[in-house]
Structure 1
């Protein structure tokens, strides 16, 4: 596993292979490669997805 410094608060973030790796200090999200992700409130905006779409259609994953 790899760690990076959070771009927001400089705390260490563990990149553990999860879909999202979250800074436990400030809540910033990163992908498994250490790239900062948009705030979760913006997820699905471009595609029109809703959180219920993600949870109700898991068999397509």
Structure 2
């Protein structure tokens, strides 16, 4: 996934050098990448929080 994002950024840089704005779908692709990454991080954080509180309860008993 990181390589494809880098490739897209290269494409972005090349198109900027040509002084021609990249297509709109390019921006939405980057936004969706960031959004997906952010969502997965939220899920992981939530799971870790749950496990942590379960462990705390076990320790306190």
Asked if TM exceeds 0.5, the reply is: no
TM-score by length of 2: 0.21
Greater share of strand: 1
